[in-house]
Protein backbone atom coordinates (compact mmCIF):
# COMPACT_ATOMS: atom_id res chain seq x y z
CA UNK A 1 0.00 0.00 0.00
CA UNK A 2 2.83 2.40 0.92
CA UNK A 3 4.61 1.74 -2.37
CA UNK A 4 1.38 2.33 -4.32
CA UNK A 5 0.63 5.74 -2.78
CA UNK A 6 4.23 6.89 -3.18
CA UNK A 7 4.23 5.81 -6.82
CA UNK A 8 0.95 7.63 -7.45
CA UNK A 9 2.32 10.79 -5.86
CA UNK A 10 5.52 10.66 -7.95
CA UNK A 11 3.42 10.21 -11.09
CA UNK A 12 1.39 13.25 -10.03
CA UNK A 13 4.58 15.30 -9.71
CA UNK A 14 5.90 14.14 -13.06
CA UNK A 15 2.82 14.25 -15.24
CA UNK A 16 0.61 16.90 -13.62
CA UNK A 17 3.13 19.21 -11.97
CA UNK A 18 5.64 18.66 -14.81
CA UNK A 19 8.59 18.26 -12.44
CA UNK A 20 11.88 17.09 -13.93
CA UNK A 21 13.10 13.53 -13.39
CA UNK A 22 15.86 14.88 -11.16
CA UNK A 23 13.36 16.69 -8.91
CA UNK A 24 11.01 13.70 -8.78
CA UNK A 25 13.88 11.44 -7.73
CA UNK A 26 14.80 13.90 -4.97
CA UNK A 27 11.22 13.76 -3.65
CA UNK A 28 11.27 9.97 -3.88
CA UNK A 29 14.49 9.66 -1.86
CA UNK A 30 13.24 12.07 0.82
CA UNK A 31 9.92 10.24 1.21
CA UNK A 32 11.50 6.77 1.26
CA UNK A 33 13.98 7.89 3.90
CA UNK A 34 11.08 9.14 6.05
CA UNK A 35 9.17 5.87 5.62
CA UNK A 36 12.29 3.93 6.67
CA UNK A 37 12.44 6.06 9.82
CA UNK A 38 8.73 5.46 10.55
CA UNK A 39 9.25 1.72 10.13
CA UNK A 40 12.20 1.73 12.55
CA UNK A 41 10.05 3.58 15.11
CA UNK A 42 6.95 1.42 14.57
CA UNK A 43 4.90 4.37 13.30
CA UNK A 44 2.16 4.52 10.66
CA UNK A 45 2.43 7.38 8.15
CA UNK A 46 -1.33 8.06 8.44
CA UNK A 47 -1.28 8.58 12.20
CA UNK A 48 1.84 10.59 12.93
CA UNK A 49 1.67 13.57 15.26
CA UNK A 50 3.56 16.84 15.57
CA UNK A 51 5.89 15.37 18.21
CA UNK A 52 6.84 12.51 15.86
CA UNK A 53 8.04 15.02 13.28
CA UNK A 54 10.08 16.92 15.87
CA UNK A 55 11.81 13.67 16.83
CA UNK A 56 12.46 13.01 13.13
CA UNK A 57 14.13 16.41 12.81
CA UNK A 58 16.32 15.59 15.80
CA UNK A 59 17.23 12.30 14.08
CA UNK A 60 18.22 14.14 10.88
CA UNK A 61 20.23 16.72 12.78
CA UNK A 62 21.98 14.63 15.42
CA UNK A 63 22.17 11.13 13.94
CA UNK A 64 22.46 11.85 10.23
CA UNK A 65 24.30 15.17 10.67
CA UNK A 66 22.26 16.74 7.85
CA UNK A 67 22.77 20.43 7.15
CA UNK A 68 19.97 22.95 7.74
CA UNK A 69 19.51 23.27 3.98
CA UNK A 70 19.16 19.51 3.57
CA UNK A 71 16.65 19.28 6.44
CA UNK A 72 14.62 22.16 5.01
CA UNK A 73 14.50 20.45 1.61
CA UNK A 74 13.34 17.15 3.15
CA UNK A 75 10.64 18.97 5.12
CA UNK A 76 9.48 20.66 1.94
CA UNK A 77 9.26 17.28 0.17
CA UNK A 78 7.25 15.75 3.00
CA UNK A 79 5.04 18.82 3.35
CA UNK A 80 4.09 18.48 -0.31
CA UNK A 81 3.53 14.74 0.02
CA UNK A 82 1.25 15.12 3.02
CA UNK A 83 -0.66 17.92 1.33
CA UNK A 84 -1.33 15.47 -1.50
CA UNK A 85 -2.46 12.81 1.00
CA UNK A 86 -4.85 15.30 2.60
CA UNK A 87 -6.29 16.33 -0.79
CA UNK A 88 -6.84 12.65 -1.60
CA UNK A 89 -8.62 12.17 1.77
CA UNK A 90 -6.05 9.56 2.78
CA UNK A 91 -5.29 11.55 5.95
CA UNK A 92 -7.42 14.08 7.82
CA UNK A 93 -4.87 16.82 8.43
CA UNK A 94 -1.41 17.68 7.14
CA UNK A 95 0.67 17.83 10.34
CA UNK A 96 3.68 18.94 8.32
CA UNK A 97 1.98 22.29 7.67
CA UNK A 98 2.54 23.05 11.39
CA UNK A 99 6.28 22.44 11.27
CA UNK A 100 8.83 25.14 10.50
CA UNK A 101 12.22 24.05 9.30
CA UNK A 102 15.59 25.33 10.49
CA UNK A 103 16.94 28.55 9.06
CA UNK A 104 18.68 27.98 5.77
CA UNK A 105 22.27 29.12 5.56
CA UNK A 106 22.68 31.70 2.84
CA UNK A 107 24.71 29.98 0.18
CA UNK A 108 25.71 32.05 -2.82
CA UNK A 109 25.31 30.34 -6.20
CA UNK A 110 28.53 29.02 -7.69
CA UNK A 111 29.38 30.15 -11.18
CA UNK A 112 32.14 30.11 -13.78
CA UNK A 113 34.36 33.05 -14.59
CA UNK A 114 34.52 34.22 -18.22
CA UNK A 115 37.92 32.61 -18.87
CA UNK A 116 36.71 29.29 -17.44
CA UNK A 117 33.73 29.27 -19.77
CA UNK A 118 35.99 29.96 -22.73
CA UNK A 119 37.97 26.86 -21.80
CA UNK A 120 34.75 24.82 -21.62
CA UNK A 121 33.64 26.09 -25.02
CA UNK A 122 36.87 25.00 -26.68
CA UNK A 123 37.18 21.44 -25.30
CA UNK A 124 34.84 19.48 -27.59
CA UNK A 125 36.05 18.12 -30.93
CA UNK A 126 33.73 19.88 -33.37
CA UNK A 127 34.73 17.55 -36.20
CA UNK A 128 32.64 14.70 -34.73
CA UNK A 129 28.83 14.52 -34.31
CA UNK A 130 29.07 13.93 -30.56
CA UNK A 131 31.64 16.69 -30.19
CA UNK A 132 29.34 19.11 -32.02
CA UNK A 133 26.46 18.08 -29.76
CA UNK A 134 28.54 18.50 -26.61
CA UNK A 135 29.71 21.95 -27.69
CA UNK A 136 26.10 22.93 -28.37
CA UNK A 137 24.98 21.75 -24.93
CA UNK A 138 27.39 24.14 -23.22
CA UNK A 139 26.59 27.00 -25.60
CA UNK A 140 22.84 26.55 -25.12
CA UNK A 141 23.03 26.31 -21.33
CA UNK A 142 25.08 29.50 -21.12
CA UNK A 143 23.37 31.45 -23.93
CA UNK A 144 19.83 30.86 -22.67
CA UNK A 145 20.09 29.97 -18.96
CA UNK A 146 17.62 27.11 -19.39
CA UNK A 147 17.20 24.37 -16.80
CA UNK A 148 18.48 20.91 -17.67
CA UNK A 149 14.93 19.51 -17.93
CA UNK A 150 14.04 22.31 -20.35
CA UNK A 151 17.21 21.72 -22.36
CA UNK A 152 16.68 18.01 -23.06
CA UNK A 153 13.06 18.61 -24.08
CA UNK A 154 13.83 21.15 -26.81
CA UNK A 155 12.41 19.94 -30.12
CA UNK A 156 13.56 20.98 -33.58
CA UNK A 157 10.18 22.63 -34.22
CA UNK A 158 10.66 24.83 -31.11
CA UNK A 159 13.64 26.62 -32.68
CA UNK A 160 13.18 29.76 -34.80
CA UNK A 161 16.49 30.02 -36.63
CA UNK A 162 15.63 33.34 -38.27
CA UNK A 163 14.71 35.13 -35.04
CA UNK A 164 17.32 33.22 -33.01
CA UNK A 165 14.89 32.17 -30.30
CA UNK A 166 13.58 28.93 -28.80
CA UNK A 167 10.18 28.10 -27.31
CA UNK A 168 10.77 26.58 -23.88
CA UNK A 169 8.26 24.57 -21.84
CA UNK A 170 9.13 25.44 -18.26
CA UNK A 171 7.89 24.52 -14.80
CA UNK A 172 4.14 24.10 -14.52
CA UNK A 173 3.86 23.78 -18.32
CA UNK A 174 4.48 27.52 -18.67
CA UNK A 175 5.90 28.55 -22.02
CA UNK A 176 8.48 31.27 -22.61
CA UNK A 177 10.84 32.26 -25.39
CA UNK A 178 14.59 32.42 -24.86
CA UNK A 179 16.97 34.04 -27.27
CA UNK A 180 20.55 33.15 -28.18
CA UNK A 181 23.49 34.96 -29.76
CA UNK A 182 25.89 34.46 -32.63
CA UNK A 183 28.26 32.00 -30.92
CA UNK A 184 25.37 29.71 -30.04
CA UNK A 185 23.91 30.16 -33.51
CA UNK A 186 27.18 29.01 -35.03
CA UNK A 187 27.26 25.89 -32.81
CA UNK A 188 23.59 25.17 -33.55
CA UNK A 189 23.99 25.49 -37.33
CA UNK A 190 27.04 23.22 -37.34
CA UNK A 191 25.23 20.55 -35.30
CA UNK A 192 21.98 20.71 -37.31
CA UNK A 193 23.77 20.55 -40.67
CA UNK A 194 26.18 17.79 -39.69
CA UNK A 195 26.09 16.08 -36.28
CA UNK A 196 22.32 15.91 -35.94
CA UNK A 197 21.93 14.33 -39.38
CA UNK A 198 24.42 11.62 -38.44
CA UNK A 199 22.82 10.92 -35.06
CA UNK A 200 19.15 11.14 -36.07
CA UNK A 201 18.83 7.86 -37.91
CA UNK A 202 15.12 7.66 -37.10
CA UNK A 203 14.31 11.38 -37.64
CA UNK A 204 13.96 12.09 -33.93
CA UNK A 205 12.00 15.26 -33.09
CA UNK A 206 14.27 16.21 -30.17
CA UNK A 207 17.30 18.44 -30.69
CA UNK A 208 19.83 16.73 -28.43
CA UNK A 209 20.35 13.04 -29.18
CA UNK A 210 22.43 10.24 -27.72
CA UNK A 211 24.80 8.04 -29.71
CA UNK A 212 21.91 5.67 -30.56
CA UNK A 213 19.73 8.42 -32.00
CA UNK A 214 17.35 8.63 -29.03
CA UNK A 215 16.53 11.64 -26.88
CA UNK A 216 19.38 12.64 -24.61
CA UNK A 217 18.44 12.39 -20.92
CA UNK A 218 19.24 14.71 -18.00
CA UNK A 219 21.57 12.05 -16.65
CA UNK A 220 23.28 11.92 -20.04
CA UNK A 221 23.88 15.68 -19.99
CA UNK A 222 25.39 15.51 -16.49
CA UNK A 223 27.71 12.70 -17.59
CA UNK A 224 28.80 14.69 -20.67
CA UNK A 225 29.57 17.78 -18.59
CA UNK A 226 31.58 15.69 -16.10
CA UNK A 227 33.65 14.30 -18.98
CA UNK A 228 34.12 17.75 -20.56
CA UNK A 229 35.48 19.40 -17.42
CA UNK A 230 38.00 16.59 -16.94
CA UNK A 231 39.69 17.82 -20.12
CA UNK A 232 40.17 21.32 -18.75
CA UNK A 233 42.38 22.87 -16.09
CA UNK A 234 39.28 23.95 -14.11
CA UNK A 235 39.12 22.58 -10.57
CA UNK A 236 35.42 23.28 -9.99
CA UNK A 237 32.67 20.67 -10.05
CA UNK A 238 30.39 21.30 -13.01
CA UNK A 239 26.60 21.04 -13.25
CA UNK A 240 23.98 22.38 -15.67
CA UNK A 241 22.65 24.66 -12.93
CA UNK A 242 26.11 26.13 -12.39
CA UNK A 243 26.15 27.27 -16.02
CA UNK A 244 22.64 28.71 -15.48
CA UNK A 245 24.02 30.59 -12.45
CA UNK A 246 26.83 31.90 -14.68
CA UNK A 247 24.30 33.14 -17.24
CA UNK A 248 22.37 35.13 -14.62
CA UNK A 249 25.43 36.44 -12.79
CA UNK A 250 27.17 37.65 -15.94
CA UNK A 251 24.02 39.41 -17.17
CA UNK A 252 23.76 41.34 -13.91
CA UNK A 253 27.48 42.08 -13.90
CA UNK A 254 27.11 43.66 -17.32
CA UNK A 255 24.24 45.90 -16.20
CA UNK A 256 21.10 43.88 -17.03
CA UNK A 257 18.18 44.69 -14.71
CA UNK A 258 16.81 42.12 -12.29
CA UNK A 259 13.31 41.91 -13.79
CA UNK A 260 14.70 41.03 -17.21
CA UNK A 261 16.92 38.32 -15.70
CA UNK A 262 13.88 36.98 -13.84
CA UNK A 263 11.94 36.60 -17.10
CA UNK A 264 14.90 35.08 -18.95
CA UNK A 265 15.35 32.48 -16.20
CA UNK A 266 11.63 31.69 -16.06
CA UNK A 267 11.34 32.48 -12.34
CA UNK A 268 7.80 33.04 -11.09
CA UNK A 269 8.96 35.24 -8.23
CA UNK A 270 11.61 37.94 -8.16
CA UNK A 271 12.78 36.47 -4.82
CA UNK A 272 14.28 33.49 -6.62
CA UNK A 273 16.33 35.86 -8.78
CA UNK A 274 17.48 38.17 -6.00
CA UNK A 275 20.11 35.73 -4.76
CA UNK A 276 22.24 36.72 -7.75
CA UNK A 277 22.43 40.30 -6.51
CA UNK A 278 24.59 39.05 -3.61
CA UNK A 279 27.07 37.66 -6.11
CA UNK A 280 27.16 40.82 -8.20
CA UNK A 281 27.55 42.94 -5.07
CA UNK A 282 30.74 41.03 -4.31
CA UNK A 283 31.86 41.63 -7.88
CA UNK A 284 31.11 45.37 -7.59
CA UNK A 285 33.15 45.56 -4.38
CA UNK A 286 36.05 43.83 -6.10
CA UNK A 287 35.94 46.26 -9.03
CA UNK A 288 35.63 49.21 -6.65
CA UNK A 289 38.65 48.27 -4.54
CA UNK A 290 40.75 47.55 -7.62
CA UNK A 291 39.71 50.67 -9.55
CA UNK A 292 38.84 53.54 -7.21
CA UNK A 293 41.99 55.58 -6.42
CA UNK A 294 41.12 56.22 -2.76
CA UNK A 295 39.71 52.79 -1.94
CA UNK A 296 43.02 51.59 -0.50
CA UNK A 297 45.92 53.37 1.18
CA UNK A 298 49.15 53.18 -0.78
CA UNK A 299 51.67 51.89 1.77
CA UNK A 300 54.71 52.41 -0.41
Residues 202 and 228: their CA atoms lie apart, in Å, by 27
Of 74, 126, 147, 250, which one is the catalytic site residue?
147
Residues 82 and 49: their CA atoms lie apart, in Å, by 12
- 171 belongs to the catalytic site: yes
CB 151: neighbour CB atoms within 10 A?
22
User: What local confidence, expressed as pLDDT, does residue 126 receive?
Assistant: 94
Work out the mean pLDDT of the chain and round it to a whole number.
88
Whether residue 228 has pLDDT greater than 80: yes
- Write the pLDDT tens digit of every residue in 55-97: 998 899 888 888 888 888 898 899 999 999 999 999 888 888 8
Residue closest to 151 by CA, chosen among 238, 89, 221, 65: 221
The answer to whether the CB of 158 falls within 8 A of the CB of 179 is no
- For 298, counting Cβ atoms within 10 Å of its Cβ (0-12 exposed, 13-18 middle, 19+ buried), the class is exposed
User: What local confidence, expressed as pLDDT, does residue 69 receive?
Assistant: 81
- For 250, counting Cβ atoms within 10 Å of its Cβ (0-12 exposed, 13-18 middle, 19+ buried), the class is buried
- 15 belongs to the catalytic site: no
Residues 209 and 194: their CA atoms lie apart, in Å, by 13
Domains of the chain: 2-98 (1.10.150.130), 114-288 (1.10.443.10)
User: What local confidence, expressed as pLDDT, does residue 282 receive?
Assistant: 67
Rounded percentage of the chain residues whose pLDDT exceeds 70: 91
Residue closest to 170 by CA, chosen among 156, 149, 142: 149
- C-alpha pair distances (Å), 211 with each of 135, 196, 202, 247: 15, 10, 12, 28
Residue closest to 215 by CA, chosen among 154, 256, 162: 154
- Write the pLDDT tens digit of every residue in 94-126: 888 888 777 665 666 788 989 999 999 999 999
- Write the pLDDT tens digit of every residue in 160-184: 999 999 999 887 778 899 999 999 9
Global pTM reads 0.66
* Lowest mean per-residue pLDDT among 41-45, 136-140, 265-269: 265-269
User: CB-based contacts of 241: which residues, under 8 Å, 6+ apart?
Assistant: 147, 148
- Write the pLDDT tens digit of every residue in 133-155: 999 999 999 999 999 999 999 99
- Write the pLDDT tens digit of every residue in 182-210: 999 999 999 999 999 999 987 789 999 99
- 241 belongs to the catalytic site: yes
Whether residue 300 has pLDDT greater than 60: no
Of 14, 83, 171, 176, which one is the catalytic site residue?
171
Of 142, 180, 191, 276, which one is the catalytic site residue?
276
Of 133, 244, 245, 250, which one is the catalytic site residue?
244
- 50 belongs to the catalytic site: no
User: What local confidence, expressed as pLDDT, does residue 221 receive?
Assistant: 96
Amino acid sequence: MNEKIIREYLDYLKYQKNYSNYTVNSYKNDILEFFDYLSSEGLNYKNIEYSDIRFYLVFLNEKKKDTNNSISRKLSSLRGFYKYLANQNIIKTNVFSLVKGPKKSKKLPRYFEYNELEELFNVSDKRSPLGQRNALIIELLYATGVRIGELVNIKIKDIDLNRRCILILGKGNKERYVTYGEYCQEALNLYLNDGYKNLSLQKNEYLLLNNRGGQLTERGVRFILDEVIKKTSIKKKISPHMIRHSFATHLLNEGCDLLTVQKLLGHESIKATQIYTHVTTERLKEVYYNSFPRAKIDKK
